[in-house]
Amino acid sequence: MTPLQEPMAVFAFCAGVCAFVFWSTSQSWMTKFYRIVPSVVLIYYIPTFASTFGILPTSSPLYDWMRDYLLPFSLFILMVTADIPTIMKIGPKALIMMLVGTFGVVIGGPIAYVIFSKWLPPDTWKGLAALSGSWIGGGANFAAIKESVGAPDSIIGPIIIVDTAVGYTWMGVLLFLANYQRVIDRWNHADSDVLADINRRLKSLEESQARPITLTDTTVVIAIGFIGAYACRVAGYGIYELTDPILSANMPRVAAIFSGFTWMVILVSTVGILLSFTRMRGIESGGASKLGYAGLFLFLTSIGAKADLRGILEAPVLVLVGVVWILIHVACLFLGARIVKAPMFLVAIGSQANIGGAATAPIVAAAYYESMAPVGLLMGMMGYLLGNYAALLCALLLKLVAE
């Protein structure tokens, strides 16, 4: 039994972590520390260590609430306030790095399996196939591929440990590297001027529109965010209930991609983008994006809390498979970045859009450039859509090497 179980107590801890970290960034005695370690790393890892040492639970109704309601609220607000035409100037390199990351996951699984196969049970390839679904888009794809290949429940438990322990640890590394992107870009001869210019434009636009935030501003933003997110949730799950029987009967593999949550995120993105071209985008003058980012970083604490590091000791060989798999994925990304001279920002979101999907890619994007969360969300949505097909290819390769 952990000391903090009641959802309100867990939320108070998570909110306190966010408040302390952001408060400390303005303190002179922490300046040198934050030059080395990005503040967002602490927001992620303090809850991780708290759950590892038994202070926080690794599972709580609060985490589900954050995923189902706080995350859509944050993403909806950030999409409504996004300057989409400016963001699109990033160009095709973002798509290239996303696809390179997918390729790394597809080939990485079979290679890692071959290296460790003599220490693994015969049906392990089926569990790894399910993991490839999670690592190209997220949990919905995990479930879809699990059912597609008939992965036994006995292997799924250890595979989930690998998914959280290795996947979330890699996310932590990406967050840490945010402070060193300029060094990496110089080594890679990558031009990040376009990204820096876009970020400056977005920030200057926010500042030019900014004014003292009033109570009316805050209540309006909260209302728009939650009403929009809830409407997208209801519509998304409604679409799922209408289309799932038809798709399941005629196109089962397509149906497996589109869960109710997936439809909700698609609608949050689409409706948010459409509203960003209307006068609704004016809510940014009331500090809308700041509330959106606050919700996003609060959600990050719940992800950190679920990444119990003790899981690494429970399935050591499978964890090694996951580590090698991720390293192959990373090697492909850096090779691709070297060829097309893509900056570290695109490497990071190209990776996280695959490994974490739409839920976490915006967080990683914001760690590199604070106004770029919408880019991460759009890339993450591509991960959802690509995941099932690319993971089925990975499953086929795993089956071939297993035989």
What is the per-residue pLDDT across 164-185, written as a single tens digit (0 to 9) for each? 888 888 988 999 998 898 888 8
- Spell out the residues 6+ positions from residue 290 whose beta carbon is closer than 8 angstroms to its own: none
Summarised one tens digit per residue, pLDDT across range 279-307 is: 888 888 877 888 988 898 898 888 888 87
User: Which tokens is 77 given?
Assistant: 């607000």
For residue 187, tell me if it sits in a domain. Answer: yes
For residue 290, tell me if it sits in a domain. Answer: yes
For residue 75, tell me if it sits in a domain. Answer: yes
Supply the pLDDT for residue 103. Answer: 94
Q: Check pLDDT > 80 for residue 311.
A: no
pLDDT tier for residue 244 given thresholds of 50, 70 and 90: confident
Q: Check pLDDT > 60 for residue 210.
A: no
Taking all residues of the chain, what is their mean pLDDT, rounded to a whole number?
Answer: 84
For residue 78, tell me if it sits in a domain. Answer: yes
Instruction: State phi, psi for 370 to the nearest 5 degrees.
Output: -60, -15
User: Which tokens is 208 given?
Assistant: 């030019």
In contact, 340 and 350? CB cutoff 8 Å: no
In contact, 76 and 269? CB cutoff 8 Å: no
> H-type helices in 53-178, by residue range?
61-65, 71-80, 84-87, 93-116, 124-134, 139-149, 153-177
Q: Check pLDDT > 80 for residue 199.
A: no
For the chain, percent of residues with pLDDT exceeding 70: 90
Q: Check pLDDT > 90 for residue 211.
A: no
For residue 321, tell me if it sits in a domain. Answer: yes
Q: Check pLDDT > 60 for residue 208.
A: no
For residue 258, tell me if it sits in a domain. Answer: yes
Q: Label residue 220 exposed, middle or buried (CB < 10 Å: 0-12, 13-18, 19+).
A: middle
Domain around 233: 67-402
Look at the chain and report how many structural domains it folds into. Answer: 1
Degrees to nearest 5, angle at CA 8 with 5 and 14? 85
For residue 24, tell me if it sits in a domain. Answer: no
Average pLDDT over residues 312-328: 87
- Spell out the residues 6+ positions from residue 238 whose beta carbon is closer than 8 angstroms to its own: none
pLDDT tier for residue 90 given thresholds of 50, 70 and 90: confident
Report the distance separating Cα 33 and Cα 43, nearest Å: 14
For residue 23, tell me if it sits in a domain. Answer: no
